[in-house]
A and B are shown apart, each in its own frame.
Chain A
Amino acid sequence: MLHAEGLSKHYGTVRALDGFTLDIARGEITGLVGHNGAGKSTFVDVLCGLVQPDRGTVTIDGRPPAAARGDVGVAPQHIALYPSATGREHLRLFGGLAGLRRAALAAATDEVIDALMLADFLDRRVGLLSGGQQRRVQAATALLHHPKLLLMDEPTAGADPQTRQSLLAALRRRAADGAAVLYTTHYLPELAELEATLAVARRGRIIARGTSPQLLDGLTSEVRLLAGGTDEVRVRTTDPAGTLTALIDRARGPIVDVDIRKPSLDDLYRSLASRP
């Protein structure tokens, strides 16, 4: 669905993208993670057709971004809504711009109202809504026309748990229906909830790509053991079961507590990001 290869983009002396390569298949949710300035939002801008890369190729469903805009739904990092318009008026506008007409627009509106739980505040002006409610309205404008590619740029930043859960559930359903989803975030547990594949960006390029198990393989777990009469022992190891057995064998007093913490996405992210 999405194919990007060797994208480069410079803003003056700043290299926002530097050989950025990424593919996303239909039905796949890809979590794009990286520090601020890693190139995530510039990549999203390229996919929206807002920014032209200096080099490289990108296609969406076989077409360049400018020709595929009708098949893309985007929820940008910033709130980008009209404060004096209601949520329903936003849906009418973006639905109309996507080509949805009366009956289709009404059906699509009903669907996103249910999916993102908008009913209670849809007819209030957006400027009067909370940040989480605004996030939901913004996500609804992206989901409304059933795009083949969803670009969600930190869509839950500052959102409450209810907003986060409803949005993640909606995205899982859209992916199950065949949409490709690019999801940028700094909040890695969300990606585990989405069962997303991962792409780690750093300095304008992807430095790691794969499923969570693939990327976590080889990272160390932490084994913790507390035995009576001794200090707590913590060991990092790639063989947690063997290490725990050895620690128990060596313990002099009764075992009080043991714990194995498997490597998390945060560990992976820290590990990759700290590479020179």
Chain B
Amino acid sequence: MTGSLWRIGALARHNAMLRLRDPGQFIGYLIMPMVFMLVLRPIFQRAVPGGATQITTGLLVIYSMLALAIVGTSTLTERSWHTWDRLRATRATIPELLIGKTLPAYAMLLLQQAVLLAYGITIIGARPHGGGAYGLLAGAVLLWSATLLAIGTALAAVVRSYGELGAACDIGAITLATLGGAFVPVSMFPSWLRTVAPASPGYWALTMLQAAMRGDTHRTLVSAAILLAVGAAVAVFACRRLARGWGRTTML
């Protein structure tokens, strides 16, 4: 194993251990959408065509966006504990630190979405069309998780406190997910709201997941490309900000 992989492994193992010692928030964001899916299924099945898919993908997008708080907290704690500068002072490079740091959070996001999708398909009645849909769904989950990882890390790089992070995640997740059609399908929005809906990453996540459910490769890839661009831009910002550090002049 090369030195770089060894360092990434050391950091990933350490961060996985820290996440596993404090799983409460993750469990909450896993169980709550399951309960809501079960309770809301009859309403959505009557009110919306493809109601089971809408409630499954909608709640997946909402709660995966709320899980930004977990991603952000894992980075913000490095600032508040002064450990980020300790890590920067080691032999590890910034890309190694970021990969090692975010791998466990990425795995957690993947797990959350995989479990919610499996639950939606087996219990709620969402139906992927054809064998290809499962491959598209897997790709969609991988990409959406990576986008969320970038957004969460960037948020943690700019907020000044846990309170700010919590507010940004809660308000941002609910607003953007709702705007993206996670609660009510965009087709039921008033026309002015339909126009602004594509400004939300949640809109593209939902479009991608629902297209993947239908086995619509083209629509899935278009949405994925847009999310990839958003995620890459945010990731570059996060990397540059975290590489600078905060010194002794900021809050926390």
Q: A residues bordering B, Cβ < 8 Å?
A: 11, 41, 45, 48-51, 69-70, 72, 74, 76, 78-85, 89, 92-99, 101, 141
Contacts and interface: CB of A to CB of B under 8 A. Distances in A.
B91 interface: yes
Contacts, number: 79
Contact of A50 (B10, B22, B85): B85
A185 to B, nearest CB: 18
Given A70-B91, A81-B81, A99-B91, A41 B248 contact: yes
A82 B18 contact: yes
Interface residues of B, number: 27
A20 to B, nearest CB: 17
B95 interface: no
B195 interface: no
B252 to A, nearest CB: 11
Given A96-B9, A97-B11, A83 B81 contact: yes
A93 B10 contact: yes
Given A74-B86, A81-B81, A95-B10, 6 more contacts: A41-B248, A50-B89, A81-B83, A93-B10, A97-B90, A99-B3
Interface string B1-22: 0010011011101100110011
Contacts of B248: 41
Contact of A45 (B3, B6, B81, B247): B247
B50 interface: no
B99 interface: no
Contact of A79 (B82, B85, B249): B82
Contact of A80 (B11, B18, B86, B247): B86
B22 A84 contact: yes
B82 A84 contact: no
Interface string B195-215: 000000000000000000000
Interface of B: 3, 6-7, 9-11, 13-14, 17-18, 21-22, 81-83, 85-92, 245, 247-249
A74 B175 CA distance: 44
A156 B59 CA distance: 52
Contact of A97 (B10, B22, B81): B10
A50 B92 contact: no
A80 B83 contact: yes
A107 B139 CA distance: 44
A238 B44 CA distance: 94
Given A50-B245, A51-B247, A84 B88 contact: no
